[in-house]
Amino acid sequence: MSSDQDHLKETDTEARFEFKKEERSAVKSDKGLTEEVVRLISDDKDEPDWMLERRLRALEQYQNMPLPTDWPGQPDLTELDIEEIIPYIRPDVDKREGVDDWTELPDEIKDTFDKLGIPEAEKNALSGVGAQYESEVVYQNMQEQWEEKGVIFMNMDRAVQEHPELVKEHFMTTCVPPSDNKFAALHGAVWSGGSFVYVPEGVTVEMPVQAYFRMNSEGMGQFEHTLIIAEEGSEVHYIEGCSAPKYGAHNLHSGGVEVFVGEDAHVQYSTVQNWSKNTFNLNTKRAICEANGTMEWISGSMGSKATMLYPCTILKGRGSTDTHITIAFAGEGQNIDTGAKVYHNAPDTSSTIESKSISKDGGRTNYRGLVHIADGAENSSTAVECDALMFDNQSTSDTMPYMEIEESKVDVAHEATVGKIGDEDIFYLQSRGLDDDDAKKMIVAGFIEPITEELPIEYAVELNRLIELEMEGSLG
């Protein structure tokens, strides 16, 4: 491909993520986090009393918790002023539960997701798609073949109304309670939108389902909640995509993810996120895995000013398995603090953590992980591998693994490497006809291959393209 064609392709990809739309909303809350704002959100959604009560309890817990400030090397959160964040914006759509016909969306919202390639992905690679714009899911669709098998894929607001018993039992109770941390409590108070996925016993959803979350307005917060329940012997792959245009004011993304993996079930949760460089990305994601269940977390973190994200799995049942494959990219002014947490609470459990990070132009990446093997979790095993690649002497990368081993009959391994792109590697590739930029792209592509090979081809290509753009400083 010629350099002109390369440039056109890069410009097209950049435009897909960096465009902005004029804000149009039906309901917009005041800034900050108050009881009045929480009640407005709940009232606008016509929620049952029990959900309002949970929101208000979470608000009280949030107000009594300090910000995390004492973790070594953590991102600086002092620039984040929650009182300047708008926690709720309902876009101006006719059907608040979300339409199931793409043509029914307002033109400006439809154009947004057209640019991001969502309709095309739905046609080619997905069982179902949900699209959230600001605080609300505006589009939701599931292929009939899966609905006929009892699979439920809808937005969380509808699930509260239509499946209250399932939501009551699972929503922020045992998996991610608001007491877990300050941002989980914040999320519990003002959550809006997100996905509800229920897969019945023995059903395998053979194509992925995806939700895409888009923040369009300046200075807002997005707090979507994802709840996945995979019953015994079921299987599903959920893909989450995220983006926002760049503004002068800070945005906040504080989502919550809860996954319940039944006996012999298999859930893969993949994230490709490209938040703008003014966004604080502070999520809580956790799974509970029953006997012989399998949980996989695949995540790529390219954007944001600061990210603190540590997907967690509790291996509750004998023989359950957990895998984490993560990649983080930090450029100038970015601090991407990611990792994984695994709790081996039963015998014969196993976990694998593979972390890849890339930093350039003074960016900072950090792996922060916890592996806990409880007393009695005999014959459990864990392997942690952390690799960091730096482009220059101004960038930093750290590895902070923490292991709590309370059982002697276990197998534990940890490996970490940090390195720069070597001149000899570049010279070798140049001697084979590549220029300097293409040589670096090839090295990085090989470095991140473990994550891209776990994604459907459309998303692997997109992830590679985003990293190439980041390497060239093309994305704001």
In a domain, 11, yes or no: no
Checking if the pLDDT of 1 tops 50, the result is no
- Report pLDDT digits (tens) over 420-465: 666 677 777 778 777 777 777 777 777 777 667 766 655 666 666 6
pLDDT at 470: 65
In a domain, 139, yes or no: yes
Q: Of 115-129, 142-156, 360-374, which has the strongest mean pLDDT?
A: 360-374
- Report pLDDT digits (tens) over 33-86: 999 999 999 999 999 999 999 999 999 999 999 887 778 878 988 888 888 888
Rounded-to-integer distance, Cα 258 and Cα 260, Å: 7
Range of the domain at 323: 17-471
In a domain, 182, yes or no: yes
- Report pLDDT digits (tens) over 100-122: 555 555 555 555 555 545 445 44
pTM of the model: 0.84
In a domain, 2, yes or no: no
In a domain, 289, yes or no: yes
Of 282, 289, 229, give the one whose Cα is nearest residue 256.
282
- Report pLDDT digits (tens) over 396-405: 888 888 999 9
What's the half-sphere exposure (Cβ side, CA atoms, 13 Å) at 78? 3
- Report pLDDT digits (tens) over 206-253: 877 877 766 665 667 889 999 999 999 999 999 887 665 555 567 888
> Is-contact 471 279, C-beta < 8 A?
no
* Residue 382 phi, psi (nearest 5): -145, 145
Rounded-to-integer distance, Cα 189 and Cα 305, Å: 24
Residue 316 banded pLDDT, cuts 50, 70, 90:
very high
How many structural domains are present in the chain? 1
Rounded-to-integer distance, Cα 254 and Cα 256, Å: 7
In a domain, 1, yes or no: no
- Report pLDDT digits (tens) over 321-371: 999 998 888 988 999 999 999 999 999 999 999 998 888 889 999 999 999
pLDDT at 105: 53
Average pLDDT estimate for 284-303: 93
In a domain, 334, yes or no: yes
